[in-house]
């Protein structure tokens, strides 16, 4: 692994490298979105090109689909494959119960649909994403553009009745314009700081008119792979109740680093 990679990128890489070990020939795999997921897609592409592995990928965003095709992965839609063997994706935050906040990359709706259409969800992350309680990372909420300011006001009113430390909501921007998801929707980022009851919050958020989906991924993650800059990984299996510590080979795969601009 090139020395110029930052410690955080090394941690992302080793978590992605270890996670692709769960992928078997012939599988249908959900491909996540984000910087850590981009490492995973490139690692899978290497297995396809160099080892002849046959997999079908379902991407959670257009940029992931473009990257997957670039590295040689066959990409199909979820409607074409119907169900997936597993999904590998990153997370913006995770708690001890492997509940997640996702959506920092703006693909939370597709990510949640793909993850719940999978037999297994594997999350790849580094230790900086671990928290005692969710909420430090702003919670993304996807809303339709029509009446979004009314939807924002309704969300802020609702937040006064739930146990959170912060109640500010902001429209995500792309330059001076609203950020748009692949579905053409807007994202409101909720700066909550601490979420006492994620299940309750998720339920009430999705009952507000105009809300499409929120970034709380609860009871969806099966396995968490945490990477470290020294090449070690921790694999937590929520279903088996096991925690394993391993080391990932950092030698080889030089082509992965030459053109990964994520």
Pick out the residues of the known binding site for substrate: 33-36, 89-92, 102-105, 129
**What is the mean predicted confidence (pLDDT) over 105-120?**
98
Flag whether the pTM goes above 0.95. Answer: no
pLDDT value of position 24: 97
Q: Find, among 126, 128, 131, the residue nearest to 226 by Cα.
A: 126
Instruction: List, for residues 158-192, the tens digit of each pLDDT value.
Output: 999 999 999 999 999 999 999 999 999 999 999 99
Pick out the residues of the known binding site: 33-36, 89-92, 102-105, 129
Percent of the chain past pLDDT 70, that is, above it, reads: 94
Query: Domain containing 187 — which CATH number?
Result: 3.30.70.260
Q: 236-260 burial by CB neighbour count: b if 16+ within 10 A, else e?
A: beeeeeeeeeeebebeeeeebeeeb
Instruction: For residue 196, give its domain range.
Output: 139-214
Active site residues: 111
Instruction: Kindly state whether residues 82 and 187 are assigned to the same domain.
Output: no
Query: Domain containing 20 — which CATH number?
Result: 3.40.50.1360
Judge whether 141 and 204 are in contact, CB under 8 Å.
Answer: no
Instruction: Kindly state whether residues 59 and 157 are assigned to the same domain.
Output: no
Instruction: Kindly state whether residues 69 and 154 are assigned to the same domain.
Output: no
Query: Quick check: helix, strand or coil at residue 156?
Result: helix
Considering its fold, how many domains does the chain have in total?
Answer: 2
Instruction: Kindly state whether residues 157 and 38 are assigned to the same domain.
Output: no
In a domain, 1, yes or no: no
């Amino acid at each position: 692994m090139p020395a110029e990679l930052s410690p955080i990128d090394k941690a992302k890489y080793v978590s992605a490298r270890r996670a692709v070990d769960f992928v078997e020939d012939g599988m249908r795999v959900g491909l996540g979105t984000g910087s850590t997921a981009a490492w995973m897609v490139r690692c899978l592409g290497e297995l396809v090109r160099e080892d002849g592995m046959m997999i079908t990928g379902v991407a959670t965003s257009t940029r992931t689909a473009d990257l997957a095709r670039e590295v040689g992965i066959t990409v199909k839609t979820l409607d074409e494959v119907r169900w997936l063997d597993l999904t590998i994706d990153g997370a913006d935050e995770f708690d001890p119960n492997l509940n997640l906040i996702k959506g920092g990359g703006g693909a939370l709706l597709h990510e949640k649909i793909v993850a719940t259409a999978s037999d297994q969800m594997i999350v790849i992350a580094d230790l900086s994403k671990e928290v005692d309680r969710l909420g430090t990372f702003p919670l993304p909420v996807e809303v339709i553009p029509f009446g979004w300011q009314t939807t924002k006001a309704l969300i802020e009113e609702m937040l006064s009745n739930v146990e959170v430390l912060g109640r500010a909501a902001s429209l995500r921007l792309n330059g001076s314009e609203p950020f748009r998801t692949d579905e053409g929707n807007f994202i409101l980022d909720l700066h909550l700081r601490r979420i006492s009851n994620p299940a309750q919050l998720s339920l009430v958020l999705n009952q507000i008119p105009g809300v499409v989906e929120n970034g709380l991924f609860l009871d969806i993650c099966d396995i968490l792979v945490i990477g470290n800059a020294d090449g070690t990984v921790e694999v937590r299996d929520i279903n088996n109740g096991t925690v394993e510590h391993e080391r990932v080979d950092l030698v080889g795969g030089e082509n992965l680093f030459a053109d990964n601009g994520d």
